[in-house]
Structure 1
Amino acid sequence: MASSADPFDLDRLAEELVAREEKSGEPVDHDLPLPLPLSHDNPYLTAPTFNVEEFLLSRVHTSLPELRTELREYMATLKEELVRLINDDYEAFISLSTDLQGEGTRLERLKFPLGDIKAQILESKDELSAIQAAIQEKLQKRAVLREEKTLLHLLLKISESMTRLESLLSITSEQESSEASNGRLIYGVEESPEDKDRANQAKHLSRVAAEYNQLLYHVNKARSERCVFVDQIQWRIDRIQSSLSSDLDHLFSTILSGLVDGTKVSEINKAKWTSDLTECLRTYDMLCLWRDAEDILRRDVVRAYVKKAIYPGALAAPPSPLVPHTPFATTAAPSFLQSIQPPRTPYTPYTALHNRTSFAPTLGLASSSPWARSLEALDDPLAKLYIQVIRFVERDLCRIMDIAERVSIKPLPAMSREKNTSVGNLSMLASQPTKSTEFHGFEIMANVVWAEIGNAIIEELGTVVFAAGRPNEFRKNHEMTQAFVRAIEVLAPSEHAVEVMRKHPVYMSFERRWQLPVYFQLRWKEIISKLEESLSVTRLDKADQGGDKNFATIQARAVWEAISACWSAEIYIPDLSHRFWRLTLQLLSRYKTWLDQALAGVDESPTKSTAYPNATKERRPDSPSGRASTPAPPTEAPSAESIAADDAVLRHCSIAMVDIRTMEVNVMSVWQEQISMLLPEYLNDDEARPGDALEHSMHNITSLLPMLASRIVSVLVRRCSEALLPVRSIPSQFRAMSNKRVPSEASYFIPTIFRPVKTYFGINTTEGPGSPLKDLVQKFAVEIFETVAERYGYYVTAMRKTEESLRRLKKGRKTTFSLFGGNAKDDEGRDEERIRTQMILDVEAFGREGEVLGVDIAQSAAFRMLDEMVHREEAEAQLQ
């Protein structure tokens, strides 16, 4: 009835609407929106562009007649407002037209005076322009006169400066020379610079150099003005320069002679000589005559000594002691050299030298240098010659280089002016290429010291020092020479001096004279020929006990000796590190090839094993477990030929494993202690790092270990399984026994099951093939025990099947033999009970034998199955 009275459920919808409104709590207005009347605020009417469609859509609830009525009403409103606006402004519009009457005549009267004013203004402007042009012309004339006056003053300065310099340098013209010959003074100079005191002369030349620099500045400025006067006096400027350079060179040479030869001056005056030397070097630097000073130092000091010290017979002549001058010997070494000690690394390129602990007494900086001390520890003519040269450089040149470094003008502010070079920095510079930087200043270390010494060694001693055909002598000479070069670099005043020295043509030529590829080829031939002679025999025969006991074969020992020789102090040269590194990897690859050839004759299936780390087990197709497949038990005893073959497999595989493991330990040890420290740093920055390459090479060799371990385990499993053959005859033995006593101990064959393992590892016996592998006893024993336990269970299962067959044959009898589960009380029942007891005793003894070898029988799945099998049959027999 409700549905017929309200078919659309309007009541229900109304109730729901009321409920929603009450729930929201806000009043709801149900009235329809009314459109607002048209006005000026309507957005559609005030829009820049009137849109009819939008306006009609906004009035969609209004009919057209109503809309027309609204628009007419709005239009009437607009008309009323327009009329109102016109009426409000009408009076103002009429008054404006009345006020403008007569203004045109007034404007015409104002035009007449404006023309006269404009003409007067233009006339004044022309007069001002003429006056401005005249003033500008006068100013330009004054500027020209000022420039000419300035140029004349500049020329006067140049003339005065030249006159002053000629006076200071005692340069006279022809007329002045004739007057001077009559006893007249020259420019008021009472005495020549040669008669002055040396200290005053040094300061005098410094003053002349400053004046000369000022003269050059003025001359360059005048030359930019294209003055003919400058070209006419150029010969006088050149004469001044020549005289100044000559006087400075003479003074510098005199000071050098006095400082080098200590007999010319007293000890008290040597400090003054050093001050004069500083003043001379500062003057050279002021004049940018660095190379002139270097040539004098090279000619008067270094070349004279080098000719006396380095000559073809110098190595055969007895060394003469070089006595140091007192001021230089008593000065303390710089702080950065006082703490220098030989590198404390397990191995360094100069181990043979640095490991010496007794050193001869040394001098000053040389005693603080590990390279100089290493040379002093050698009793070699070349080393003694190098020590003499180092002492000479330290005594006579170090102070000069320090002074020159301080007075030089450096273009880079970060460049050190003091002796701040450390041994660590020098070592880093030795392994890294130097960057070329433009530098103007003294380069005494490169252009003087090394240019003369290096050139003399190349020309006078080149045939002896660079003897690449004699490897031992060549390496010794190279080692001593490199120590000599490093000791010279320690004496350098700055790192920049070392960089310049290494970029010098003489240094590059010196380095090229070392025929290092030839030396490497000779060493390569020496190492490889000896190694290939040993590897020509591809048999795994144990070596004599006289050699290294860590390696089992002569071949492995030869490979290790070849690798050790590459990095030994008697052969290794740092510059050939990349070649010796490549040879090391080649030696390991060659050893892997030899192992593959030697193991090719070992006849055994390469079954994987877990007896060695990283080994994997070969899965049987039908077995989900990871255990090694269990071969079928032998049906007969092995022959003598098979026993000999198994002995050969055990011996060869054991020898190979011992050598591979020893090789891995030794190679990784020498990598950590020596090779990784000797290889250059840039090799470690490459994508293919040396350590990864070595690990890859060793992995290729150690990958043979799982295969060798599986072969050894396979042979031992087979031999251990042979001792299980008596298990099948246990029932027949107990039935044939006349004494029907209950067994109390395990069978006689149980202790012999794992005897091959003990014999192989030499446990409680004489030394066996696997004695060096005793650390793998537990890992081998676990897998052998697991496999033998499986075979043990196989024998027990086979015996059960055999007994069941016998039971079926005797099923006509009331009391039948039942090995598994029988409960008979006659003789056969007692035999079955004794057999079960014996099997339990045997299995327990079998587990104890495994525990002796370190096997955790609780973790052995095969043994648990075997133990459950024998005890389950006993329980079933008791229930029956």
Structure 2
Amino acid sequence: MANTRDLFSLPAGPADLCFDKNEFMKKTFSVDEFLHENRNAGSLEIIRDDLGIYLKVLRSAMIELINQDYADFVDLSANLIGLDQQISGIGAPLEKLREEVLTMREALQGTMKSISDCLDQKKALRTYKKSLQSLGKVQQALVKLDNLLSPMDGREHDINPILLERAALESIQLQFNIKFCGEFLNEEQMRRSESMKNNLLMQMKEYFLKTLEQKNIDGMERCLRIYCTLDETRTAEEVFKHEIVSPYMNRVVSESSLQNSPQGLTGIYNQILDFISLNMKSLLTLTKKNGKVKGFNFIINSFWTEVERRMETNMSSIFAPGNPESFYQKYKCTLEFLERIEQIIEDSAEIAYFKAHPQYKSFQVRWNLPVYFQIRFQEIGSNLEKACSREIDAIRFTSQQIGASQFNLITFSIALTCISNCWQEGIYLPQLFHRFVKFTLQLLSRATTWIDTAITFNPPLQTDSPEPLLRLKLLATLFSDVTNLSKKIPNIITLIIQKAPPVLALTAQKLDELFFDNRSALSAKLNRLQTLIVQELVQISIPHIKQVSDIPRLYRKTNREVPSKCCPYMEQLIQPSRNFQERYSAMVGDEQLKEFLGNVYRSLTLHYYQAVDEVLISVQKTEESLRRLKNLRDRNANPITTATFPNSGSISTDRTSMSDDDKIRLQIQVDVIYYVQEIERLGLARGEIEKLHELVLLTEKATKIKIGNNQQTPEQV
């Protein structure tokens, strides 16, 4: 970039231009970027004027440059005179050279083509020679094969395995040479070749069946080796399949055999497996992984393919899922049958090949497991759905036995039974593990959803117990059962892990994550039930707090004795919580009961404090009004004696001179003391209840009587 600027330096322009002239020399110069960078230098009119000024400078510089180099321009045109003639003089020799090169190229190509034709002819001659030699060998092999197989054509002669081996070798040589005969091989020779091969395979078949019948292991081994030599292993497997396996399975595998079998499908499978021990033991010994002959798989290609085909065509009734109990037994029996076949195969690679076989997959698909699961889903799910749809019987509900270790509502018991049924023997299949896990989550979720229905249930007034108590008992029962259901989840997880297929390698942590939503939902239901129980207890007790406002009416101008015991409404205020503790402590547990009662008394204490505060303020206002009225009367009657009026703001120790307002204050304090004692008797600490300490201080301030933690009554003071 620097060299370009040195060679082509722009002429200097006026110093007051609003742009830098060097920007025009940049390779990346852009009009848009130029305007964008100089937008703050001035308006468009200023930029236009400056560009016009600099354009004039450039034009002047261009004219000066042309004037300076004018002589060079003139010399350049003079030097070009006569250049065309010089070029024409050089062109003629070059054209001649070009023609000579083309002639030489054509000569070389002709020579190369001649050589290539000669090589192709030589190659063809070699091919013909080889084909003729192969044809001769084919003719010799046909004659030799005919001589070897002719003595064995007659039924009166025993098949000679040595001749079979020699014939097999000749057959291989024959097939090899036929490939190179090409067009020299005629149809007659091809027909003879096929006939010889078929004749050889037919005699091989007879010899193979004979060795199987005689259980001649040496002959069997020799025959299998000959089949391997001929590369006809599948032919040997087909011979064994059609001649040995098929007749036996046609007799054993049928609907009539299934119906007449004392052991049912198990008996059929036992007969099928007996075939292996009776007819295939020697073959398996020779062809297994450590056997003497390789390349055969009679279990899969001969035995299994025929068994599976017969079962699909002759015993299709076993696949019907209409009766789930029968389907389960047949499928479990089939799995054991397949496992026993795998044990016979032994080799892991062959077992994998067995499971990947198309007929194995087809056999597995015939067992309609999704339909079986759907039937089980409807059976089990309908039981829970019926229980959830059934209304709660208030009469039986109120009389049923309550316990902390069992479900008190039948819906939860049925839900847990349904979950257990999913995994019990006779229903659960490992192949449907993922479906049964999902079903378990659905059952648990349905039971959780039913809780909302149970909460909204209003017990009818057909029993001796009032509706609020029935409602409270229902909520407590629900809370106990939901708590127990939450505690059952770890047991459900353990059960699922025990039933899970080993290949999944499930852990409790993985399954616990699946049950997270169910745990959260149950926890939310428990919180809601706790809130409703507290609300019910508070609603039952709050109406009695209103009787605090009746205390002034009991003592004002009634000449009642000094209060020494609490008012009856206090007993009514405490009784619902006391009854709840006595009836449901075993159901909800001591810790949870303490939390319930704590929330109840926090709410009650707040309302009680407000009621007491209102009464004390009202009493104080009334007392001050009476005092002003009495002072006014005494001042008018006898001004001298007004100063001897006792201060009614404190309780007099002389009980005969205690005012009605003092009795009211003292009664409130006695009630508060009883209230605190009952709270502590229920197992709650005074510091756990908000506003309770302020309530005690409020009554102490009103009566001027200090009560300690031993809760002495004002009578004792």
TM-score category (smaller protein)? 0.5 to 0.7
Partner of 1:218: 177
Q: Would you say the 8 A contact 1:567–1:674 is kept in 2?
A: yes
Q: Would you say the 8 A contact 2:354–2:360 is kept in 1?
A: no
1:242 maps onto 2:198 in alignment: yes
Q: Partner of 2:133: helix, strand, or coil?
A: helix
Correspondence for 1:480 among 333, 336, 356: 333
Counterparts of 1:521-540 in structure 2, within 5 Å, are: 521=375, 524=378, 528=382, 532=386, 535-539=389-393
Q: Partner of 2:181: helix, strand, or coil?
A: helix
> How much has 1:221 moved relative to structure 2?
3.0
Q: Would you say the 8 A contact 1:209–1:286 is kept in 2?
A: yes
1:451 maps onto 2:267 in alignment: no
> How much has 1:382 moved relative to structure 2?
3.0
Counterparts of 1:63-212 in structure 2, within 5 Å, are: 143-170=123-150, 194=158, 196=160, 201=162, 205=164, 208-212=167-171
Structure 1 counterpart of 2:694, which letter? M
Structure 1 counterpart of 2:339, which letter? R
Partner of 1:716: 537
1:757 maps onto 2:716 in alignment: no
What percent of counterpart residues are identical?
Answer: 19
Q: For the residues of structure 2 that align with 1:231 and 1:306, how far apart are their CA atoms?
A: 42
Partner of 1:647: 469
1:572 maps onto 2:428 in alignment: yes
1:306 maps onto 2:249 in alignment: yes
Counterparts of 1:288-299 in structure 2, within 5 Å, are: 288-299=231-242
Q: For the residues of structure 1 that align with 2:411 and 2:271, how far apart are their CA atoms?
A: 47
What whole-Å deviation, never above 9, does each CA across 1:112-167 have from its counterpart, x for those lacking one?
xxxxxxx9xxxx99999999999888766655544433333333343444444445
Partner of 2:276: 393
Q: Would you say the 8 A contact 1:649–1:711 is kept in 2?
A: no
Q: For the residues of structure 1 that align with 2:495 and 2:609, how far apart are their CA atoms?
A: 52
Partner of 1:773: 588
Q: For the residues of structure 2 that align with 1:642 and 1:318, how far apart are their CA atoms?
A: 64
Q: For the residues of structure 2 that align with 1:727 and 1:652, how far apart are their CA atoms?
A: 31
Q: For the residues of structure 2 that align with 1:564 and 1:397, how far apart are their CA atoms?
A: 44
Structure 1 counterpart of 2:358, which letter? H
Q: For the residues of structure 2 that align with 1:388 and 1:573, how far apart are their CA atoms?
A: 25
Structure 2 counterpart of 1:756, which letter? P
Structure 2 counterpart of 1:535, which letter? S
Unaligned runs of 5+ in 1: 1-42, 58-118, 182-191, 260-264, 320-379, 409-416, 419-440, 605-638, 763-767
Q: Would you say the 8 A contact 1:650–1:769 is kept in 2?
A: no
Correspondence for 2:650 among 822, 829, 832: 822
Residues 211 and 833 from structure 1, CA distance in 2 versus in 1: closer, same or farther, beyond 3 angstroms?
farther
Q: Which moved more, 1:522-531 or 1:555-564?
A: 522-531
Partner of 1:257: 213
Unaligned runs of 5+ in 2: 16-20, 22-99, 632-643, 708-717
1:800 maps onto 2:616 in alignment: yes
> How much has 1:234 moved relative to structure 2?
1.0
1:858 maps onto 2:691 in alignment: no
Q: For the residues of structure 1 that align with 2:400 and 2:392, how far apart are their CA atoms?
A: 17
Partner of 2:626: 810
Q: Would you say the 8 A contact 1:451–1:507 is kept in 2?
A: no
Q: Partner of 1:713: helix, strand, or coil?
A: helix
Q: Would you say the 8 A contact 1:836–1:874 is kept in 2?
A: yes
Q: Which moved more, 1:583-592 or 1:768-777?
A: 583-592
Residues 822 and 399 from structure 1, CA distance in 2 versus in 1: closer, same or farther, beyond 3 angstroms?
farther
Q: Would you say the 8 A contact 2:651–2:703 is kept in 1?
A: no
Aligned Cα root-mean-square deviation (Å): 5.7
Q: Which moved more, 1:306-315 or 1:706-715?
A: 306-315
Q: Partner of 2:427: helix, strand, or coil?
A: coil
Q: Which moved more, 1:126-135 or 1:153-162?
A: 126-135
Q: Would you say the 8 A contact 2:486–2:519 is kept in 1?
A: yes
> How much has 1:244 moved relative to structure 2?
2.4
Partner of 1:784: 600
> How much has 1:253 moved relative to structure 2?
1.9
Correspondence for 2:407 among 545, 551, 557: 551
Q: For the residues of structure 1 that align with 2:665 and 2:404, how far apart are their CA atoms?
A: 54
Correspondence for 1:471 among 324, 346, 352: 324
Q: For the residues of structure 1 that align with 2:437 and 2:681, how far apart are their CA atoms?
A: 47
What whole-Å deviation, never above 9, does each CA across 1:612-654 have from its counterpart, x for those lacking one?
xxxxxxxxxxxxxxxxxxxxxxxxxxx9999712112112222
Q: Would you say the 8 A contact 1:298–1:452 is kept in 2?
A: yes
Partner of 1:342: none
Residues 833 and 138 from structure 1, CA distance in 2 versus in 1: closer, same or farther, beyond 3 angstroms?
closer
Q: For the residues of structure 1 that align with 2:106 and 2:691, how far apart are their CA atoms?
A: 129
Q: Would you say the 8 A contact 2:383–2:414 is kept in 1?
A: no
Q: For the residues of structure 1 that align with 2:526 and 2:487, how far apart are their CA atoms?
A: 14
> How much has 1:833 moved relative to structure 2?
8.7
Residues 757 and 312 from structure 1, CA distance in 2 versus in 1: closer, same or farther, beyond 3 angstroms?
same
Q: For the residues of structure 2 that align with 1:750 and 1:129, how far apart are their CA atoms?
A: 129
> How much has 1:299 moved relative to structure 2?
3.1
Q: For the residues of structure 2 that align with 1:547 and 1:841, how far apart are their CA atoms?
A: 38
- Give the structure with the larger helix fraction: 2
Q: For the residues of structure 2 that align with 1:164 and 1:841, how far apart are their CA atoms?
A: 131
Q: Would you say the 8 A contact 2:319–2:366 is kept in 1?
A: no
Q: For the residues of structure 1 that align with 2:364 and 2:113, how far apart are their CA atoms?
A: 75
Q: Which moved more, 1:499-508 or 1:779-788?
A: 499-508
Q: For the residues of structure 1 that align with 2:105 and 2:357, how far apart are their CA atoms?
A: 74
Q: For the residues of structure 2 that align with 1:251 and 1:640, how far apart are their CA atoms?
A: 93
Q: Would you say the 8 A contact 2:377–2:439 is kept in 1?
A: no
Partner of 1:382: 265
What whole-Å deviation, never above 9, does each CA across 1:497-542 have from its counterpart, x for those lacking one?
5555564358626742658627844772576268527834354653
